[in-house]
Chains A and B, each alone.
Chain A
Amino acid sequence: MRRVCYFSPFIPREWIIAHGFSPCRLALSAELACAGAGAGVCPYAQALVARAERWDDALLVLTTTCDQLRRAAERIALQWAGRSHQDALFVFNVPATWGRGPREQYQAELQRLGDFLVRHGGRAPEGEVLEHHLERAAGVAVAPSRTAQKQGEDHTPKKGIPVAVVGGHLFTEHHMLHYLIRNAGGRVVLNGSEGGERTYPDYAGVSAASGPLEALATAYFDAIPDAFRRPDTGLGEWLARRVRERGAHGVIFHAYAWCDLWRAAHGHLAEVVGVPTLFLELGSSPEINGHTRTRLEAFLESLA
């Protein structure tokens, strides 16, 4: 089955499956960012462009959620021009604002994505097939947040200082942040990074009978708080509520160099969470440097 690669949480995997493709969430390595990252380019977007340089026959779905990604998509389109996979890129416009109009735009983009998949050999999903995938997705999506909730209520084992981790993209290597936190005496009770529970769809109250586009807009567009949404009040509310529920004693924010959205968001989020916060700027090296580790350790020590 042909793969469709993507990494934005706003791309519903069930929509891809229903069109007969295999969804594949791209994981990027920091190794890719090292070569050629210029001043001003976020390493994650840089890595994406580098990754696209060695492309196979998969389709690639990118989103417009930040300037760096929009520009990366453009660079990839130019890079692929004249190659066999030049038509394999789809740029999905995720509206930043809320409201009826932007929501309709999101649905229209889902439809446009569906048409793109059909043009590339997929099949237009029929009602029952789609309902089946939506129901399965709803089951899967609910599961991790239940687990997380349980973790929050239960707190077993209770070793380590409970902290939340929040931010945007993370290279595969930088997931070691969680390991470093554990080593420094902490315990992650809330994962608000991209790919973590902040970015899960919310199927609560969604009925497949309302039609697939409506169901997906409710589960994804209406539900996922992010730094690019305008206003981004939902992000602060989500974080403050979860921090309270999970009993986090501190929040660790992370953002890559030149990631304006998460960098700026941290200022306000730090004001609303009600617990001490630490901001970590991560670079393009696969290693998390000594300075960052020391700050992390000092932060956890101060919470002890």
Chain B
Amino acid sequence: MKSPAKISLDAWEARRLALLNAGLEEPWYGGPLGRHLEEGDLRLQSLEFDNSTASLRLWNFLLSEEDRLQAARRQGKKIVGAMKDLGTVSVLASAAPELVSFYPDGAWWTPCLMECSDGLFAVADALGIDDRFCPVRAMIGAFETQRHFPIPDLLTCSAGATCDDFSAIAQRLEHLGHPILWWEVPYRRVPEHGEEAVELPGGWRAPVSQVQCVAQELEQVRHALEVLVDHAITEEELRNAIRDANEVRRLVNELRTLAYTSAPCPLPALEMLIIEVLPVHFCSDREECLAVLEELLKEVRRRVGNGTGVLPQEAVRIYWVNPPADLRVLNLLEECGGRICGADYMFGHARAPIPEDIRPMEALARLVLSDPMVGPAADRAAAICCEISQFGAEALVISRIPGASHCATEGEIIRHAVGQILPHLPVLEIEVPPIADALFPALRTRLQALVETVRSRGFQPRSRRQ
């Protein structure tokens, strides 16, 4: 068995052939990663990948999602395009076997993966959605070109405490002829003195009245799904869907704990980012998603047990805030001597356990309100501080997203809150565009400086598992 390492796309081709000769069996969506490059995912050739078969399966699972959606449609399943809530409507939809859901929001990363050869930004530009908007504007291009996912049978979008970028773009989409079922998510507020409140998955509290409002709104979504499949979705089916979703979430959380606390680092940042994305909608196939995660967990456990990893023992432990628009930046961080020990990629609620001991719709409503982006950035900052301590991170990187309406101000609020709780923690704020090649020299210098700062302060690499 090969030692854990990061390898290039070319190296993966050779390694996969060797593995096949040695008896590797791949799932139906398996194959050489290079085929995705041929299909236009040009960024793959600049990335470094984990060399385990579990990671090969993960990448192939991720990059074959469109095929899965097309296959589902051919099988007569209805496709639900859930927008913005990232992890709630997908659970609701998974309660009906005739439905398959995905998040068109995922087009966010398409220009990066395709190195802008997709032309999605140009389409958005032509519709007046220019680079003042965040990369999610690629979504409108994907709908217009109809090349990246099948047009859904039902589109839903949460509104209210939704970022302006998304809200505006989704509205434009509707005017272009894609009807949307809008549902309200209020801005999460602190309960008034004496007001009845509940704890949300993830630990924040919200007034019961807000939870009830969201539950009522979700009932509308449930009803629309029922109309689509022409039968009622029962409480029992919802309970099962929540239980299954929680199983995915449990695996992801176990992987996070192992990957972010063990030394040496058992799995690279890039693969961990994909793992964190999976619970959002199971990459359109919950059963297979579970199998992919189980294999990864087995591999990570094995590596941790053997004391092996993909990065040097002394890699500096970094907490990362916001998804980087260019995936290559996570490789860069590791090249600079860092490793990811915890991240808030803006959809932490997608991996929070959903309560199983209350009515399913109320449980889902609580989940919606635990979205870090529907409440104050200070709440988010407090949760970030908790994770920094939990994972023993030694520095913080806030990765700004160009054009994102929240990024201009949240960095300052997060810095401030972190500064109060962890006054000596070095913080670096960077901006990462979808293709950051031109900025790499500067980004490299800044990330190296951060790593050196941590080292010069004498932080010791540590692990609760050493």
Contact = CB atoms under 8 A, between A and B. Distances in A.
B180 A231 contact: yes
Most buried by A among B168, B172, B406: B168
Contact of A93 (B127, B129, B186): B186
B378 A95 contact: no
A66 B165 CA distance: 10
B405 interface: yes
B286 to A, nearest CB: 29
Most buried by B among A68, A105, A108, A227: A105
B378 A78 contact: yes
Given A74-B376, A74-B377, A260-B165, A96 B160 contact: yes
Contact of B171 (A72, A115, A265): A265
Interface stretch (B9-17, B91-99, B407-415): B407-415
Contacts of A268: 171-172, 175
Given A74-B377, A97-B184, A108 B209 contact: yes
Nearest to B128: A267
A258 interface: yes
Contacts of A104: 213
Interface string A250-272: 00000001111101111110010
A241 to B, nearest CB: 17
B164 A68 contact: yes
Contacts of B413: 71, 74-75, 78
Most buried by A among B127, B159, B169: B159
Contacts of B405: 40, 66-68, 71, 258, 260
A74 B216 CA distance: 27
B183 interface: yes
A81 to B, nearest CB: 10
A233 B240 CA distance: 38
Interface string B376-401: 11100000000000000000000000
A82 interface: no
Contacts of B165: 67, 260
- Report the contact-size class of chain A (Cβ under 8 Å from the partner): 35 or more
A39 B409 CA distance: 10
B62 interface: no
Contact of A40 (B161, B174, B209, B403): B403
Contacts of B403: 40
Nearest to B408: A40
Contacts of B133: 260, 264
Interface string B137-166: 000000000000000000001011111110
A102 B186 CA distance: 9
B172 A267 contact: yes
Contacts of B129: 264, 267
Interface in A227-241: 227-228, 230-232
Interface string B410-423: 10110010000000
Contacts of B377: 71, 74
A261 B167 contact: yes
A243 B405 CA distance: 31
The dominant DSSP class at the A interface is helix
B159 A71 contact: no
Contacts of A227: 168
B132 A263 contact: yes
B266 to A, nearest CB: 37
A38 interface: yes
B168 A261 contact: yes
Nearest to A268: B175
Contacts of A231: 171, 174, 180, 182
Contacts of A265: 168, 171
A68 to B, nearest CB: 6
B317 to A, nearest CB: 28
Contacts of B171: 230-232, 264-265, 268
Contacts of A257: 132
Contacts of A39: 408
Nearest to A74: B376
A42 B44 CA distance: 36
A34 interface: no
Contacts of A232: 171
B424 interface: no
Given A93-B189, A261-B167, A263-B132, A74 B213 contact: no
B287 interface: no
A290 interface: no
B128 A266 contact: yes
B416 A95 contact: no
Interface string B250-268: 0000000000000000000
B345 interface: no
Interface in B169-222: 169-172, 174-175, 180, 182-184, 186-187, 189, 192, 209, 213, 216-217, 220
Interface of B: 127-129, 132-133, 157, 159-165, 167-172, 174-175, 180, 182-184, 186-187, 189, 192, 209, 213, 216-217, 220, 376-378, 403-410, 412-413, 416
18 contacts: A40-B405, A64-B187, A67-B406, A68-B164, A68-B409, A72-B409, A74-B377, A75-B409, A75-B412, A93-B187, A95-B186, A97-B184, A112-B192, A258-B132, A260-B132, A261-B167, A263-B128, A264-B168
Closest 8 CB pairs of A and B: A40-B408, A264-B168, A267-B128, A260-B164, A230-B159, A67-B405, A268-B175, A67-B164
